A = this chain, B = another copy of it.
Amino acid sequence: MKRPIIIAGPCAVESEEQIIRIAIELKKIGIDYLRGGAFKPRTNPNSFQGLGDLGIKYLLEAKKITGLPIVTELMTIEQVRKYADEIDIIQIGSRNMYNYELLKELGKYSKPILLKRGISATYNEWINAAKYINNGKNVILCERGIRSFDLSTRNVLDIQAIPYIKKNTNFDIFIDPSHAAGNDYMIEPMSLASVIAGCDGLIIEVHDKPEEALCDKEQAITINTLKSIMKKINKLLGD
């Protein structure tokens, strides 16, 4: 079993200082990619929607300083045209999984696409959405929890997606335990479970001061917690 890719970082890029500060700490503990939202789709149009272009600029600054490649969500064809060359993995959020025109545009670039599953998308719809992106070339699927009848957790992590996707497709599958759980205490057990079930990567929300995060602070873990999870993953994999 090979070590899964670890993507980590804050929900949103909040300032140049914040993303650089966190990136430096994350670099030290050995993550593979830095994440941070510049364009934030939010249910309420009056909620903080991210720093936009400035957020991308700060992410690239953090990349220059730390050497960490970056993962961030793009939401429109224009954003893709503008930033596809500079971002290392383009994230497509669950709200845009059915945005087929956006998906088609992504197929024109050679960058890897992290395609999150729609909140109630069937496996079949998700796999078909991936095919809209240049017939699935360079697509990584990302399970991030499905909507259920129980609001005790934000969503339900469909961990069975891992063996399903591995058996029935050639796609890599990453897991986002943060948006599935919507809290911090489930991140460790769900990360370890996903790794042992065979996922190819994890994308985890981390903040050095979770209580001050501008979005999704309930689900952000500290850098120390991530460090401990990574140590347990390594042990699990026999290193």
Contact = CB atoms under 8 A, between A and B. Distances in A.
B44 A128 contact: yes
A180 B167 CA distance: 17
Copies in the complex: 4
A93 B124 CA distance: 19
A26 interface: no
B189 A196 contact: yes
A146 B152 contact: no
Interface of A: 41-45, 75-78, 95-96, 98-101, 119-120, 122-125, 128, 131-132, 135, 146-153, 156-160, 162-164, 167, 180-181, 185-186, 189-190, 192-194, 196-198, 236
Nearest to A103: B45
A152 B152 CA distance: 16
Name which of A146, A163, A194 has the most chain B CB atoms within 10 A of its CB: A163
A163 B149 contact: no
A152 B122 contact: yes
Contacts of A41: 98, 100
B185 A196 contact: no
A152 B128 contact: no
